[in-house]
Amino acid sequence: MSYLPYAVAAWICLVGIAGVATSRNLIHLAICLTVMQSSSYVLLLSVGYVKHGKAPIFKGTKLGTTAVDPVVQALTLTDIVVSVAVIALILGLALDAHRLSGTVDPDRLADISG
């Protein structure tokens, strides 16, 4: 059991958050958000990984064949679908922001505060 995948997942998550927090461009920011989310894919897949496990397709295989966990793969797929919807929306809003103000810098967009 290696700790490396978990360390990688934590690193990707932190790098993603740091990117979102410091980004000066909404498109760049949306990509950072995807980076952050990919940490959960890495984490999920490493959670379900079994050494020498086959892909979880059971048609024609013997009972008792070792396979990796299919649940985490389903979760990862759902996770990707969910994030696509969110990212599409943010990119759409970034386009509108650019059309209205000529900038995609979130700091310069901030005309409401307090």
Partner 1 sequence: MSWIPPLLVAIPLLAAAVTAGLDHITPRPVQDALVVAASAATTAFAFVLLWSTERREVVHWFGGWRPHHGIALGIDFAAGPLAAGMCAVIGLVVTLALLYSLTFLREAARLFDALMLVALAAMCGFAMSGDLFNLFVWLELMGVAAYALTGFQVERLGPVQGAVNFAITNSIGGYLFAVGIALLYARTGALNLAQIGDALSHGSAGGLVIVAMTLLLCGFLVKGAVVPFHLWAADAYAVAPAPVCAVLGGVMTDIGLIGVARLHWAVFAVPFGNGHAVGDVLLWLGIVSALLAGTMAFLQRHLKRMLAYSVVCHIGIMLAGIGLLDSSGLAGAELIFLAHALLTAGLFFVAGILHVDHGLIDELHLRGRARGCWALAAAWFAGTIGLVGTPYAGIYLGHGLIDEGATVIGRPWVPALLWLGSALAGAALFRAGGRIFLGWGDEDDPLLGEAIEEDPLEREVLRPLLVGVALVAVVLGVVVSVVPGLGQRAEYAADRFRDTSGYAARVLRDRPTSPPPSLSISIRHTSLDSLLYGAGATIVALGLAFVGLHRRRLPRAVAVAGGRTLAPPIRVLHALHSGVVGEYVTWVAVGTAVTGAAWALLLRG
> Under the rule (CB under 8 A), what is the footprint of partner 1?
9, 13, 17, 20-23, 26, 29, 33, 36-37, 39-40, 43-44, 47, 71-72, 75, 78-79, 82-83, 85-86, 89-90, 93-94, 96-97, 100-101, 106-107, 109-114
Is the Cβ–Cβ distance between 12 and 36 less than 8 Å? yes
Minimum CB separation of residue 101 from partner 1 in Å reads: 5
Angle in degrees, CA 40, 43, 46, rounded to 5? 150
CB of 59 to partner 1, least distance (A): 20
CA nearest 36: which of 50, 47, 21?
21
